[in-house]
Each structure stands twice: as structure tokens, then as C-alpha cells.
Structure 1
Amino acid sequence: MIILYLILMKGAILYKYNEPLIIEDNIQIDEPKVGETKIRIEATGLCHSDVNVFEGKTPVPPPVIAGHEIAGVIEEVGNNVTDFKPGDRVISAFIHPCGKCKNCITGKENLCEVFAKNRLNGTLLDGTTRLHFKDGTPIRAFLGGGFAEYAMVPYTALTKVPEDLDLRKVAVLGCAGLTAYGAVNSAKIEPGETVAVIGVGGVGLSVIQMLKIAGAGRIIAVGTRKWKLEKALELGASDVVNSKETDVVRAVKNITGGGPDVVIEVAGTTETVKMSLDMVRIGGKVVLVGLPPTTAEIPIRIASIVRGGIKIIGDYGGRPRVDMPRLIELVKLGKYDPTALVTGKFRLEEINEAVKLLEQGEAIRSLIIPN
């Protein structure tokens, strides 16, 4: 006789766009399948990408659990998982590479084709979900579904965390850190180059720290909140420009003597993308990191791009299995401080309060603590 054990957990479910999340404690999580791991969550960072899901700008079909900056302890592993075992302390990247597609095997696992196909469906790599209600109704999980007590993710997204590092300290590496690392790596910064960073949230402040490590010269932070710009100065920016108080393009061109060599855009709005293209110097590079709503249309003056020899680079984060261990090493060496991004810690039941603060621009990264 086969005995099936029903595992129930608590999670914050989005039932309808633009409505508060509902905390449910009757969510069933199945056993991990081949290549998957079940993680008992210690903390999950709250990111603007999650808010985009809640608002329907990233239209993952409800009911869905979001949350993709996950840190926790492995509780169970599926077949063919040999690199990890129950009890391992891990962080999960927001990118879940399959490890088998052309991009994965050619060193571009951040652009995994299988992951890209399933990302907006809120499913795992096989196109299904491990979460459902007791009546069998499926629940989707966006990039891991970390706003819950447990999450199911492929082992290819995981990195072990040394015992001497607090899991809550490194949770935001899963998106803010990995995205920033990938952006600066794509920009191929040369020592002394001037760089403008548009957006000073979790990713932007991480980019500033990475630019300092890379040897950038002048680092200009552009944002709308005075207190966030002050934080940017603390973390390595040489200059700040408040876009609510001045003509940003003119100000940045004056500071740099004609425009920065590189602009890294992380705010993800039509205005900031246009701003980045208008301010970069002739022959410069623009790295686009921020994600506008899927329906956004951004006009680009092609003639100016061509005549100016401007390089536009789209970047979707670092490589989980290659770059995340390097990020952890930067944290251990004190070169990158993820705790500088955390402005609050909230119980799972308080998640709507944390979402409100982020929407109002009064938070950088909040940690959601399930237990």
C-alpha cells in the first residue's frame, strides 16, 4: 500500500491584479521531481519585478505566488540531484537554467531558452507547477514563489552559502546582486570610464558597488528620491542628479564633459530609457536592464543611434552557476554589501504593508520572513 503525505504550507497568493495578497495556509506542495529541490525559506527579498506581477504589468496568470530573491535550507531533493542535499544552506537565482539548451551549453545560461518559455507562465522548467489547493486547483509560482514557507526550484538555480554568512544577509543576491553583476559585466567597463546609473533602487545601488569594484571613474547616480541618492553616495557614486529637480541630460553632460562613456538604465520606464539614449556620449554604450511593462512602446531615434555609433546592450542578469559564487566571494571580502539595500523586515502576514512602501518609493529592498 502506498501512503501519500499531504504537505500543507502558508503563502501569500495574488488572486487578482491590483488587489491585496491573501495569506493562505492550505497550499499543498508536492514532492520535487527530477532535478528539483524543495527549500524551506528563511527570507525572500521584495523586488519591483514582484510588484509588476501584482499590478499585471508582468502578466503571470493568477492565482500566483511571487518572490524570487530566495534564501533558505534544502529540505528535499528530487532524482538526479547530486550537487545538493537536505540541510544545505542555499540562495536561489531568479534565473532557472535548464543546463541543456544551446544558450546554457555555450556559456549563456542567463538566456536559457527553456526558462524563457516558462517564465511568464509561472511554471517550472517542465511547464507544470508543484503548488495547488487541496481540491487540485493549480497555483503558479513566479520565479520560485518565495513569498511562502517553501519553494520548489531547479537545482541549477542554487548556490551554497557558507556557514559564516547569514542567509538573510545574502537573500537579495538572487536578483539585485546577480542582475547588477551581469549588467556591469556586459558593459565591459574600462578603468576610469565615466558611467551614469539611472535608477537607485536595489539593482541600481548594487550596480554602483559593482562599478566601484570594476574601476570605473566618475559614477553618476540618477534618481528621484533624495534619501536614495544619499545612499548612492555612501556606496560609491561620485555625483548624484535628482531628475525631479533638474534637466538630467544637460546636468549629466555638464558633469562628464559631453556625456558618460556608459549609461546603465535600471529604472525600466519609457522616460528613463529615452533619457539614457539622449545622454550617452558619441561612441558610448547603453546597457538596458530595467523592465518596462510588456506593452510599453519606446520611440528610438535610429538615425542618432547609427550616426553616433551607440551600442545598445540588453542584459538579463548574470549566470547563476558561474557568477553567483563570485558574488558570494565579494560579500565575504567586504566589497559588496547587500545589507545596505535592506530597509525593512516583515512577516509574511505583513507583506501588503511592504508592497505599499515599495510602491510609494519608501523602500529599497524589504525582506519577507515566513517564520
Structure 2
Amino acid sequence: VSFPIPILRLINSKVLFYCHYPDKLLSTQRSSSIMRFYRFFLDTFEELTTGMAQTIVVNSGFTQQVFLDNFPIIGASKSKKSDEVVKQDGLLIASHMPRILYPPINLKVFEKSENYSSQKIEDLLEGKITPGKTHVLTSLNRYERKKNIPLALKAFANFLERTSQKTGKAESEIDATLVVAGGWDPRVEENVGHEKELRQLAKELGITAKMVFLKSISNDQRLMLLENTNVLLYTPENEHFGIVPVEAMHMGCIVMACNSGGPLESVANGETGFLNPPKPDLWGEKIFGLLEASPDPERVKKMQAAAKKRVKDNFVMDVFASNLDKYVQEMQPLSGFNYMAGTILFFMSVAWGVLMSCKVLLFGA
């Protein structure tokens, strides 16, 4: 939330603002003229107040471009060089390109706990796998339609079909399992409804017997699942960053993701995983090539090692802290009363009073 920034500017505090995604894009309920009027003020003040931060950082290059596209005032005033520190005594002092600061994972979280090591993966996956033998493919997302989980089911069905054609085995005899796991809340209508849709799709594709649905698993179960996963199927498109592929690479999974959004930066195509258009046939072909058509254990080991190194070099707490410290140290000291900050606060107060008055008149207290 950027609205407190003018207050901090009034007292000449250095402000570093971490934008995970513009709020204006997360608020999509704009069907009525009243809501559009309401959001116009909020969106405008979001941009103006965000631009008053001395340094702006974002969680990926994808978010950086979205930020600049949707904040035209900041975008128009940005420096052409992303690493140039700009000192400016006007309304917008964040006139440089927003810096990229990738979210980290805490490696200590991935150390085995007693609960993690005591539960058997066979029990978690309902006896549908033989550890070290069964190909385990995992989709790890919340049960939400925007996560595009049907892509994983269709790709898995395509993989089974290709494997059946090569080996002559019935699809039911192929030693492979797809796990769909993620956040699920019985109070959230979409979670409940989408789970039913996925189960129905699995039935239509004839893969129900080869699937396991897990809901709201614990962190220990999550780690155990990743440790036993061969291929992570990360299906969301245009994800802001996506921490799951990073966690999976650290755990030795081969990541298959859409060629858009954050995975373009976290996954090295062909080296630590594969980036593809969201086409089930293409995903099925890639999975088949990796696991069945021409399996190459040495190649897999090299990809796993490269994935772990990529995570260690770019996405761990020490790297995050070092880059954050660098950006903070580069911030210039401020002095004197900031009249622009005072002006923005005044107009924000007036606009907020008008909006609240309209709300009371239209909807009551």
C-alpha cells in the first residue's frame, strides 16, 4: 500500500517501495459507474504516491513492464538506465526504472523435520506410486481457474497416450501418477467448484485412476511431495513471479512452465526445465521425450544440478538481502519540508472525504 508514502516524505524519510503487483490491476470490479468513479481516485493516488518513493523495486522483469505500462506518469519520467540513481526534488523522485528484487526462498525451511521424514510418500499419495519407480508429475497451485490446472491434466493424458503407443501397454498399466495439490478452502466457492470441475475433467480424460487430488497440504507434506516429484507442471500464464518453480528446482524437480511471466526469469529453458506455450499436446510431447522416448538419467542429473545452482545464485535469502542492502545504500538523503507531499496529502484527504460522503448518500452509513 503506497498511500502512507507522502506522510513519510513530509518527515524526509527514505522510502523504498516493494511492488509485487499494482493494486489497480487486482481490483477488477468496475462494472458500475460509481465503482469506476471510486477507483479513478484510488488508482490516481496509487500512482502518485508510489512515485514519491525514493526507490521502487519489483518482484520480476515481467512485473516491471506491467508496472511501467500501467503507471504512465512514472513510466514517462523513468531513467533509461535501470541502475542509474536519480536525485529529484519534485513530485516524482522515483524517476529511475523500478529495480528487480526477486523474492527469495529460505533454505532452512527445506531441511527435513521429524514429521516430514516420518510420513511415507506412499501414504500421502494413496498407494498409487512406488518410490523410485513411478513417474510422479505434480501441479502445485491454489484451486483457482486462473491457474489453468486443466492444462496439466490434458498434458498428462497426452503423455499416457504417447507412452501407450510406444510400449503397447494399456494406459492403466503405465507407472505414472499426476498429483494436483494446493490451497483449498471450503468457504471459497471457486475452490470447491473448481475441484469438482477438475475431477470431472479427469473422468472425461480417463485418468482418474492415475491421479491424486490433495487439498491444503502442510509444509512438510509439500516438501515430501516435491522431493518425490520428477516433473513439476507449472501451468499459470503471466504469473507475476511464481515461487513454486524456484522451490521445485531447489528440490531437484524438472520444471515445465508456460513461456510467459515470472518463469521466463526463474527457469532456464533447456537447462533447468522447459518453457512452452500452453498447449497440452506440446507439453505431453515434452514429458514423453523426457521420461519415456529417450530417457537420459545423466541429462536429468545435470539439469537438477543446474537448477539447484540457479536457485542458490539468484533466489535465496542471502542474495535478496545483499541486493536490498545495495539499493538502500544508494538512496540519497533528503532535507527540508516537502511541499509536494503536503499538497498530495491535502488532495487525498479532500477526495477521500468526497468519496465517503458519496458512499453514505448512496448506500447509507
Normalised to the residue count of structure 1, the TM-score between the two structures is: 0.27
- Higher strand residue share: 1
Query: Could you say which structure has the larger radius of gyration?
Result: 2
- Higher helix residue share: 2
